[in-house]
Structure 1
Amino acid sequence: MSKSVVIIGGGISGLCAGCFAAERGYRVTIFEQAAVPGGLCTSWKRGDYTVDFCIHWLTGAAGKDNDLFKAWSALGAIEGLTYVFPDEFMRMVGKDGTVLSFSKDFEKLEADLLAIAPEDEREIKSFIKAIKRFAWSKFGLEQPTTVWGRLALIPRYIPLLPAFKKYGKMTLSDFGKLFKNPFLAEAFASMWDPRLSVMVFFGMLAWHKLGICGYPIGGSTSFARAIEKRFLELGGIIHYETTVKRVLIEGDRAVGVELGDGTCVKADYVISAADGHQTFYNLLEGRYLTPKVESYFKEMPIFGPLLFIAFGVNRPFDTLPHQLSGSIFQIPKTRIADREHEWLQVKICNQDPTLAPPGRTLVTVLIDSDYDYWNQLAQNPDEYRAAKDAVAKEVARLLEGVIPGIAADIQMHDVSTPVTVNRYTGNWKGSYEGWLPTPDAIIMQMDKTVSGLRNFYMVGQWVQPGGGLPSCAMTAREVVNMLCKADKK
C-alpha cells in the first residue's frame, strides 16, 4: 500500500502540497479549519458584492517556458480559468495631480519618469537599465532542482551583477533617497513597506513586462477551487471545519495528528501548511524550539498586518484602465486607527465582472495597522465594531478626495482587521504574507524540516521570505521532492 500524508491546512500551500504528493502516488488527507479552501486566498459575499481579499495577480499565469506556469498548470490553476493581463501594473498619484503609471512599456516608463523629474536623469536611466536586464534574464522564473540546472543559469544572470552591486542591499526607502525630485523620492519609498528589498519591486516590474502576471476572473475563490478540484481528481481527501490540535509524535518521528475533537489520525508523513508560529508553539507544543527558530519570531520583520476595507460602489469605472496592483494616492496626513498615513492604496476591481452586479464595482483599500491595537479593541465587541465603522467612514471621506463623487455611490462597506485575519486563518499577528523580504531576508534559505523530528515538513509563506502565491507552489514542490527522495521514488 502507498504511504500516507496528512496535511494541516487547506490554504493554497496545503492544496499545492496535496496535489504534488497525490500525483506522486501518496494517499493524502488535508484537514482545514475553515469551511472552504484557500486560507488567505479567499472571498466572501456582502449583499450583491463579492469581497475578494487576496489575488491582485498570479505570477506564472502565462509563459510556457517558466517553471511557475508549469507548476500552476499541473495544479489545475490555468486550464478552465480565464486570466486577464492588464497593461498597467500600478500608478502613483501625487497631491498635486502628478501621475506615474508603471506599464509594460519600459520606454514609456522612462519617458514618463524623465518628464516628471529631468533632474534625476542619471538615476532614472540606471533604474530602467536594471529592470530591462531583470526582464531579459527571466530572473527567478526557473527553479532548477539539480546542480547542473542551476549552473546553466549563470550566463543569463551575469548581466545582472551591476544591478545587484548597486541595488542588492537597498530597501525601498534607500531607493527613494537616490532621487532629487520630491515626488519620486516619496513615491518610491512609500509604495509599500519601506523596509522591502527594492529587488522585489524590480522583479515585479520585470515579470509584468514579460506578460506572465495575470488576474483570474472569479478571483481568489475561483483560483482556490480550481486547485481543490485538481486535488480531489487525484484522489485526495479534504475535511473542512476540522481543527488540528497537535502533531502526534513517537520517539523522534511524527506519526499523525490529533484533531480538535480528540480523534487521532495516523500517517507516514505530516506536512504543516499552517501558520509558522502556531506550528512551533501549538501543534508541536514548543518541544522543538531552537534559538534559531525563536530568533525568527523575535527579530525578523513580517509583512505588516492590514486593515482591508471593501466598498460596493454604484459606478462602473469602465473608462479607467485595468491594473494589476492598483493605485496609490498621496493624501493629507491623516490618522486612521492606530497611526498616521500619507498614502492610500486603492484597488478598483473593474477587471472582474463577477465581483459586482452590472454597472457596479468592488473597490478595496489596504492600510497598515497594528495587531495588538485591534486585539485590544476586540475584547469589547461594541468598541471593536465602532472602531471598524469609524475606519470605513474616514476612508470613504479620503476616497472622496481622490475620486470625486464616489462617497454618494457607496452602497456597501466591509472591514477586515488584523484580528479578522488571525481568527480566520491563524496567521501570526494577522500577517498576510509572513516574513518581509528585506535585503537580508530575501537571500535566506529557511528549513522545511524541524531539527530532531523525522517525517515532519513545513510549506508556505513561513518557510520562504516574501510569501505570496508562488511561495506556496514552490515550497510545496520542494517538500514533496524531499518525500520522494526519502522514499527513493
Structure 2
Amino acid sequence: MRREEDSEWTRREPAPGSPPRVLVVGAGMAGLATGCYAQMSGMRTRIFEKHVLPGGCCTAWSRDGYLFDYCIEWLIGTAEGNDAHQVWRELGALDGKTVTNFELFNKVTDETGRSVVFYNDPDRLQAHLLEVSPADARQIRAFCRDLRRFTEIELYPFLTAPALRTVRERAATLRTVLPAFRLFWRTAATPMHRFADRFEDPLLRKAFRNIFFQDPEGFPLLPYLFNMAAAHHGNAGFPQGGSLGLARSVEERYTGLGGTVSYRARAERILVENDRAIGLELRGGRRYYAEHVVSACDGHTTVHGLLGGKYTGPRVDKLYDELLEAPGTLFPAVVSAFVGIDGPLPEEDAHSTTYLLAAEEGARLPGALQNSLVVQLRSRYCDGFAPPGRSVVHCTYFSDYAHWAELRRTDRRRYREEKRRVAAFVRDFLTRRWRECAGRIELVDVATPATTRRYTGNHNGSILAWKAFSDADDIAADLVGKDRMRLPGLAGFSMAGQWVGMGGLIRAASTGRFAVQYLCAELGLPFRAQESTGGELWHPGRLGRLPQLDRWHPEERRDS
C-alpha cells in the first residue's frame, strides 16, 4: 500500500465527508466476505491477516509439485437457483470454475472387507442397503423415505441477518418449514447413534455413524439427510481450484472492489476508547484506526486476547469460559496425511472411504480418537492436485489436540517421531490395500492439530469450531440474532466467522454478510450486494505462490 493510502488508516479522525472505515481481523472466509459486502455497500475496508495466504483453514500447501488441499470435502451452494449459491456468486467464489459432483457421499469398509456405499440417490441407496442387510428393511426404508422428503426441501437461510428479516422473508421460511415441521422435529430429535443402534447388521450400525467420514458423536439424523439431499441435487459439490482456489477467488473479488489485504500482519489488540472500538494495534506497535472493527478470527483470541476479557456477558461467558473446554462441544481436531503416488489410483475405489480399524490397529495411530481412517482420492476431486502421471491421497482421522500440542511444546524430537509414525502407518495401510502402489509412494506430508492451531489460531486446532446440535448451538444463534454479533458494552465492534455463526464455509461467509447488514442498519446506509461478473476461466496459476508448512524429512521419501 502506498504511503498516502496508508495515511488514511493511521489518522485517528477520518477525513471530512469520507465513507466509514472498517478494519477486519482475519482473511478467512468470514473476513473476506465482510470486506466484500462492506465495499459493495460503500464503505472503505482493510483486512489484516497473520498468515501469508487468505482462507484460514480453507487453504492448501505444496511439496514437490503436489498440491495438498486441506479443507473442502463438499461445499453447500454449488448448484444454481438457491440462496447459498447466490452468496457464492456475490463473492465471486465460483467464477470461471467447474464443479465435481459424486454419485456417493461416502463409503464405509469394515475390518473384514464388507462395505456400505452411501449413494446420494435415495432409490439407489435403498436398493443397495437392502442387499447388504434384508433383515433391516424397515429401518432402511425409513431412512430413505426421509431422504426423499429432504430432496424436496430447499432451506438456505444465508441472505438476511436474523434480526433484520422482513415479514415477507419470515413468511417464506414458514411456508417451507411448516409442511415439513414434523420431519424437521423428528430428525433433529433423533440422535444418529440411537437410530444406528436399531440395525441388526453390525456393519450398518457402525457405517451410518460414519456417513460424515468419521463419527461426529452427538449429531442427529437431520444434518446427514440435509447434506445428502443437497449432494443429490449437485448442491454439495467440489469446486475447481479446491479450498485455496475458493479463498483466492473471494480475495480477487475483494481487491477488485477496492479492498486491501495486509499479510504477515498479526493483530495484538483492539484499541478501545470510551467503550468504543477505534482501531487495531499490530505486533510491532503500528496502529490503524477506523469507525468500526470486525474480528473474524478465533473467538477466544478475540474476547480474551484482543479485548483482554473486558467485554463479556452471560452468553459470551458461557461459550468462551464454560463450554470451550467442555467435552463434545468443539468439533474434533484432525490429523492429515497427504500421500503423493507415482501413477494412477485404483479405478474401482470410491473417491472417499472410511476404513474401520480393529482396536489393535487403531491403537497404532498417534492420538486417534476413533478406530477409523478416512482415505480420499483427492486427484479425483480436481485437476492440478498432482503432477502429470501422479496421484495424491488425503488420509485423515480425528485426534486429540492436547496430545500433539504438549509434544510440540515440550519435546520436538518426539513430536517429529509421532508424525513419522503417522506417515509409516499410512504407507503400510495403503500398500496393503493397493498392492500395485508398493514402491510408488513418493512422499507423505503430515499436518497435526498443532499445525492447524499454529497457522490459523483456531482454538484446540478445531477446524469447524462449535459442534452443531451441541450446547453451544443455541447460544451462538442468540449471538447472531439477539446480540447482532456485538459484545456487551462495546460499540463500534462486531464478531464474524464460525466462532459466532457455527462451522461450515457457507455459514462463515454468511456471517460476513450479516455483520455488514447490521452495520448498514446502524449507520443508516443501504446494504448492497451484486453478483460478480468475473469471467476468467480458473487456472492453477491463480493460486499464487504456495508455502511449505514444515521442513522436509528425507526419510519420508519414496520407499523403494
Query: Does the 8 Å CA contact 2:106/2:353 hold for their aligned counterparts?
Result: yes
Structure having the larger proportion of residues in strand: 1
Deviations 1:294-353 (A, max 9, x none): 322332510111111111112322624664xx2111222221113464221111112222
CA shift for structure 1 position 382 = 1.1
1:21 to 38, 45, 48: 38
Contact kept in structure 1, 2:159 and 2:513, CA below 8 Å = no
CA-CA distance at 1:142 after TM superposition: 6.2
The match for 2:84 among 65, 68, 74 is 68
Deviates more, 1:118-127 or 1:397-406: 397-406
Runs of 4+ in 1 over 4 A off after TM superposition: 141-144, 439-444
Alpha-carbon separation, structure 2, partners of 1:338 and 1:97:
25
- Partner amino acid for 1:342? N
Residue in 1 aligned with 2:257?
Answer: 234
Aligned-residue offset at 1:84: 1.6
Q: Deviations over 1:48-67 (max 9, x none)?
A: 2111111122211122x211
Q: Are 1:268 and 1:455, in contact at CA under 8 Å, matched by a contact in 2?
A: yes
- Is the CA contact 1:66–1:142 (under 8 Å) kept in the aligned structure 2? no
Q: Is the 8 A contact 2:79 2:233 kept in 1?
A: no
C-alpha deviation, 1:440, in angstroms: 5.0
Secondary structure of the corresponding residue to residue 160 of structure 1: helix
1:460 aligned partner, one-letter code: G
User: What SS does the corresponding residue of 2:358 show, helix, strand or coil?
Assistant: strand
Which of residues 426, 445, 468 in structure 2 aligns to 1:395?
Answer: 426
Which residue identity lines up with residue 501 of structure 2 in the other structure?
Q
C-alpha separation between the residues in 2 aligned to 1:468 and 1:61?
14
**Contact 2:192 / 2:208 at 8 angstroms: preserved in 1?**
yes
More displaced stretch, 147-156 vs 178-187: 147-156
- Residue 373 of structure 2 aligns with an amino acid whose one-letter code is L
Partner of 1:331: 357
**From 470, 476, 479, the counterpart of 2:512:** 476
Q: TM-score with structure 1 length normalisation?
A: 0.95
CA shift for structure 1 position 454: 0.9
1:255 Cα shift? Answer: 0.8
1:133-282 correspondence to structure 2 within 5 Å? 133-140=149-156, 143=159, 145-190=165-210, 191-282=214-305
Q: Decide which of 407, 432, 453 is 2:490's aligned counterpart.
A: 453
Q: Which amino acid aligns with 1:71?
A: V
Give the drift of 1:90: 1.5
Equivalences for 1:297-376 in 2 at 5 Å? 297=320, 298-299=322-323, 301-317=329-345, 319-320=347-348, 323=351, 326-333=352-359, 334-335=362-363, 336-339=365-368, 341-351=370-380, 352-376=382-406
Deviation at residue 92 of structure 1 after TM alignment:
1.2
**Match of 1:199, SS?**
helix
User: Which of these residues, 76, 99, 112, is aligned with residue 59 of structure 1?
Assistant: 76
Q: Which has the larger displacement, 340-349 or 478-487?
A: 340-349
Correspondence 1:43 to 2:60:
yes
1:95 aligns with 2:111: yes
Could you tell me how far apart the structure 2 residues matched to 1:376 and 1:440 are? 27
Gaps of 5+ in 2: 1-17, 480-484, 526-560
Shift of 1:398: 2.5
Which is worse superposed, 441-450 or 378-387? 441-450
User: How far apart are 1:232 and its partner, in Å?
Assistant: 0.4
- Output one character per residue of 1:94-119: Cα deviation in whole Å (capped at 9) or x when no partner: 22332222223210001111111222
State the identity %.
Answer: 33
Q: Which moved more, 1:105-114 or 1:197-206?
A: 197-206
Q: Return the letter of the residue paired with 2:74.
A: W
Of the three residues 131, 141, 159, the one matched with 1:125 is: 141
Q: Deviations over 1:356-375 (max 9, x none)?
A: 01221110111111111111
Deviations 1:227-266 (A, max 9, x none): 1000000000110000100001111211111111111111
TM-score, structure 2 normalization? 0.83
Distance 1:27 1:142 in 2: 24
**SS in structure 1 of the partner of residue 146 of structure 2:** helix
Q: Distance in 2 between matches of 1:373 and 1:384?
A: 9
Match of 2:389, as an amino acid?
G
In structure 1, the partner of 2:464 is 433
Stretch deviating more after TM superposition (79-88 or 108-117): 79-88
User: Do 1:172 and 1:196's aligned partners in 2 also have CA atoms closer than 8 Å?
Assistant: yes
TM-align CA RMSD? 1.8
Q: What secondary structure sits across from 1:449 in the alignment? A: coil
- Residue aligned with 2:79, SS: coil
2:452 corresponds, among 418, 421, 446, to: 421
